[in-house]
Amino acid sequence: MIALGNDHAGLELKNAVKAHLDERGIEYKDFGTYTPDSCDYAVYAEKAARAVANGECELGLLFCGTGVGISMAANKVRGIRAACCSDKFSAEMTRLHNDANMLCLGGRVVTPEKAIELCDIFLDTAFSGEERHARRIAQITDLENRF
Ligand code: RB5
């Protein structure tokens, strides 16, 4: 199950990605927003990030204007490693090396076609499991626990 969340500026991207997930038969839970009315990205980041953090969803996809604000908000939720990406290399490496559990995309940065491409890469790439990367992720978790 994939968690989806967005603000008004990410609505178009999310809807394009949802249609693609439907085509692929990938299940998702959409935490909104559902309309183009102006809203606050942190509200929807929290809803989707909670679902990933508590295990209800394995991974999440977030969308706002730049992908930045919604990633900042999601990363405040314990256990979330949200990565804001706009290129294929980063979308792949953040799964391989960072074991990112949420991908954040900007509706004012990437096209719907690019968003679909990035989401596919993110969802289809597994964490490498390599010791040095696991160690670095453990350091991030340790940092989170000390603040
Ligand atoms: C909304 O206008 C915009 O600020 C928001 O979607 C996002 O880009 C913030 O980081």
Predicted confidence (pLDDT) per residue in 103-147, tens digit: 999 999 999 999 999 999 999 999 999 999 999 999 999 999 998
Question: So what's the pLDDT on residue 17?
Answer: 98
* CB of 69 closer than 6 angstroms to any ligand 1 atom: yes
* CB of 49 closer than 6 angstroms to any ligand 1 atom: no
Question: So what's the pLDDT on residue 80?
Answer: 98
In contact, 51 and 3? CB cutoff 8 Å: yes
* CB of 66 closer than 6 angstroms to any ligand 1 atom: yes
Nearest CA to ligand 1 atom 9: 69
Kindly list the structural domains of the chain, giving each domain's residue range(s) and its CATH number in brackets, ordered by start. 2-145 (3.40.1400.10)
Question: So what's the pLDDT on residue 52?
Answer: 99
Nearest CA to ligand 1 atom 3: 65
Question: For 18-33, b where at least 16 C-beta lie within 10 A, e where not — what string?
Answer: bebbeeeeeebebbbb
Of 73, 77, 62, residue with least CA distance to 109:
62
Question: So what's the pLDDT on residue 86?
Answer: 98
Predicted confidence (pLDDT) per residue in 54-109, tens digit: 999 999 999 999 999 999 999 999 999 999 999 999 999 999 999 999 999 999 99
